[in-house]
Amino acid sequence: MPGPLVVRASVVVPEAELRWRFSRSSGPGGQGVNTTDSRVELGFDLAATTAIPPELKARALDRLAPRLSGGVLTIAASEHRSQLRNREAAAARLAQVLREAMAPPPARRRGLPVA
């Protein structure tokens, strides 16, 4: 799973800006769950990144403000038994969250005039 995270064609987050943490996961896995660090937390410092253009970064910071802690967006994944699959799930989820946060606002549709 090493390598840059492609959010969209014009936005690619380098691997150096991603922070991975691993811990023991709860859930299925039998006794192996007690010894395997399969839970993944992926941190991305949205406030300090240079990989996102300024106008998209400002939009993402505004939309994701409730989810940020000190400018850092954290995504956790523990739905799979293997660390590799959880890493892939966390990276895909981070890309999706950033894609949605950077999307342009919907065009305003004029309503009917008030009579």
Give yes or no for a contact between 4 and 13, defined as CB atoms under 8 angstroms apart: yes
pTM attached to this predicted model: 0.83
Within a domain: 110: no
Q: How many domains are there within the chain? A: 1
In a domain, 107, yes or no: no
Q: Is 75 left (phi over 0), alpha (psi -120 to 50) or beta?
A: beta
CATH code, domain with 46: 3.30.160.20
| Structural domain harbouring 43 | 5-102
- Residue 63 corresponds to which amino acid? R
What tens digit of pLDDT does each residue of 4-59 get?
889 888 889 999 999 999 988 776 666 665 667 888 999 999 999 999 999 999 99
| Euclidean distance between CA atoms 61 and 98, whole angstroms | 10
